[in-house]
Amino acid sequence: MKYWGVDRKRSRLKWRCPLYKCPDMCAQKKLCSPSSYGRVIHTKPKDDLRLFTKTPRDSKAWKIKFAKRTSVERTLKRILVDYTIERARLRAEKRWFWIASLAAVNQHLDAQVNKLGHSLFLKLGLIDKTA
């Protein structure tokens, strides 16, 4: 195969059959494409960090890092989707910041209510002791 450049968007290398102009001469005729463009293969370079990470994927360090990452994703989902910030029709950066701050406070309150539950409502006097 002949090197045919790099696809920067997909971070991969392109290889093309060198005999695409005369497909009958191709030694891999059965595998080669009958199209006028010839067979194309893409390979991933070894410096692609999405595939070849610095931290090995099966390691304990990877699991710890990924656990942190999933908690960040849950937080973002809670703020963006559950509190519907994405649907807010805002343009000013200050307003975005304000709404995101409110959502973060709300998320914290949700966690407190989940943790303290019934006793929190009792302390605040929102419900009777008999309830």
Tokens 């994405």: give the residue. Answer: 86
If one asks whether residue 99 binds Zn ion (CB under 5 A), the answer comes out as no
If one asks whether residue 17 binds Zn ion (CB under 5 A), the answer comes out as yes
If one asks whether residue 26 binds Zn ion (CB under 5 A), the answer comes out as yes
- What's the closest the beta carbon of residue 40 comes to Zn ion, in angstroms? 10
Rama region for 5: left / alpha / beta (φ>0; ψ in -120 to 50; rest): left
If one asks whether residue 80 binds Zn ion (CB under 5 A), the answer comes out as no
If one asks whether residue 40 binds Zn ion (CB under 5 A), the answer comes out as no
Q: Which residues share a beta bridge with 106?
A: none
With residue 34 as reference, give the H or E element that holds it.
Answer: none
- What's the closest the beta carbon of residue 6 comes to Zn ion, in angstroms? 21
- What's the closest the beta carbon of residue 10 comes to Zn ion, in angstroms? 23
If one asks whether residue 103 binds Zn ion (CB under 5 A), the answer comes out as no
Total length of the chain: 131
Give the Cα separation of 72 and 107 in Å (integer): 13
Binding site residues, Zn ion, CB under 5 A? 17, 26, 32
